[in-house]
Structure 1
Amino acid sequence: MMKKLWNSLQEISKVLLLLLLLAGTFSYAMFQGGFVSWFLFYSFLPFSLYSILIMLYPLSDFNVTRSIQSEELKAGSRVTVTIQLNRKFPIPLFYLVVEDQVSTSFFSTAEISQVKKLIYPGFKQSIKLQYEFENLPRGEHHFTSTDLKTGDFLGIFQKSKKIEAADTILVYPSYVPMTYQPIQVQYDQGVASTDVKIQRDTTMATGLREYQPGDRVSWIHWKSFARTNDLMTKEFEERKSHDVCLILDRTPSPLFEDLVSFIASLSRAVLKKGAQAGYISSGNTVQRVPVKNGDHHQRQIDYQLAKVQADSEAPFNDAIKKEISRMSQSVVLLVVTSSLTRELVQQLHDYSRNNSAVAVFLVKNAKNNTKNSDEQQIKALASSKGIMVRDCFAGHFSNVFAEVKQA
């Protein structure tokens, strides 16, 4: 209430100041006379009238439309944003400052000046301007509104208007091509991988039944038909599929974006191999994507990875303890983290006791490849418990499974 009253008093004082200046120049012309005094009055008159016009002109006359080049982008890409301004009354504007309000997550790689433009619209009723964001950060970014500011030549009246124009773009994590090698059941010295293409729906015959319309010709048991002259169809039993669950460490880390990129690359490689993949991460919220396959399923994983944040306050082994206990013992665990601890190794070992394969992908900075004695001891402990630990250096993810095969 007090703020509105103060703003009203300011506007009234500006009007009084303008009228006082206008009255002063007119009085000077009347009493002084002569060319110079009247020239001063007539020179000031259009500026004062324009100031009054700006005071009366509502910036709500503007209609703002924002268009984005693509609403689904990949981290590191570029996006072009176009703002279209339209108005009904072509009141001449000396200048107009247009500022797009964007969530602060955008500015990790972009300058704030990119969304603030100074234009000179004049009498234009339609104005179009563009700006670009380069090297987009991963995440969900929101455009909330567009702020317009203008004023008069004298600087007495300055007007601003916030026009609501909400938009959202989702920037998916970057990924690299990767060839997945399925992790097999553990041996004494760890786990192994195989080059065999996974056939999820392959089956094996377990018996015979009467032929039913719709059965494939290849399913008919011709030997029994030759003996009995009755059509019989083979019955099949589905073989267990290769199910993989990807687990992301959401503990705050300088390498968190690399972890997300590795998970995105790994999920594509797993699904391309013919396996089924699920995804779990735990922080302030829990993200769960069930073990399935297909392009739509990949988009579900990507959607969760686009929104995930490094917001876990609990140790990683505690964060995933509850989630692991819910899983089927036939699911292969692929854990992606940037920090390896004894507690995590023990947690994964408890899961892997029932012949379940577990692998840990330890993401590191390629520039800092110093050996840590404590880390080497934990790796040896993991290996003795049948858990594979593989170093993955940021920027070199595509070779991870080639190294696994060699190992």
Structure 2
Amino acid sequence: MSKKKKVRVELRKNREKPPRENDITRDFKEGDGRADDARTNERVRAKGAISRYRTVVQDEAANGTAMPAVNVGECLRGRVLRVHGLASVVETDDGRVFRCAVRRLLKSLATDERSVVTTGDVVWIRPAGTGTSGRAPAPSPTDDAGNGEPDDAAPQPPTSDGLSAPQEGMIERVEPRHGVLTRASRRREHVLVANVDQLVIVMSLVEPSLKPHLIDRYLAAAQQGGLKPVLCLNKADLLTDPTELQPLIGLYAQMGVPVYLCSARTGYGIPRLQEQLRGRSTVFSGQSGVGKSSLLNAVQPDLALAVKSVSEVNQKGRHTTTYSQLIKLNFGGWVVDTPGVRQLQLWDARPEEMEGYFPEFRPFVPLCSFPDCTHTHELNCAVKDAVARRLITSRRYHSYLGLFHGNADE
């Protein structure tokens, strides 16, 4: 049984109001009229200079992880099906669906994540109208941090964004995650999906053209997030010469990555892909226009997900899927359909760690002359020698250089 304890947690710094820039007292004594126009509630210290903390009651799990305490008798456990703006749709363990807002405390905690809740999260929610006395809790004028905002803002009524649900609630706690697909977005962590088993990297052979460097980035992201990578090459019906793919398929097959050649239009390869999805939680990801939603429609025809063709002008995909959604499969398992990506930049990946995402480098790394060799410019580098002798493909080495130097588009 978890133990409850009080802890001090750091909140995001208040960056709403600017600091006081002038000496208002001196201006007042000198009769400067600017003192009359000054705000009466200006901050003395610089914007965001004061750290904000709050005392909260937390549950300590068996693994030592501290989480905000919840009343199990009043809260329900569920999983986030999709997130759109401030609204999250949660399906509880008993099958009920709630449209939920997020507790103010969770959104105020100091974190590097772009969003507190993401698709696939296991959460505890408090249904609307429940409280310690069985009645709806009275709204609090301010939160404990003193920022003048309600701590638990009441969830808004259903709107026309497609996220309406029969009941409403408040997300009180997010359980620790495993199996995540994440990327860097404006210097913050963007978790695309959580609590999944495998990542299906969807690429099209034509329209848009195949991007092997993006595949390598997805393989690194899968290893970083603890996901099993699966490569799915769609639009096989448009390929004129299948033998051109043999070197590419052979390369990833040697690395232990399952490769599926599919066509959402003709159904080729779909039965094999269904077996790969059976009984597992899977996220489909790839650039726009590769046919992620079309493949899912072929895997389970009753989904009827919206699809669009690629642009005839630049052969790039159009954003059809606008948010990630968790879908239950009739034959067992779950899939997550995600929006298309233009680029994929790893989150919190140091340059010296990049060699670990390329397993073919491992036999040669100990043979380098320098223990801290970056395999970019050093002399007597065994990895560079292996590339020259074609023991490591030049394309994979180029992908390594792109990740090492932080190039988002390579």
> TM range, normalised to the smaller chain?
under 0.3
Per the normalisation by structure 1, the TM-score is 0.25
Larger Rg: 1
Greater relative contact order structure (CA < 8 Å, 6+ sep): 1
**Structure that is richer in strand per residue:** 1
Per the normalisation by structure 2, the TM-score is 0.25
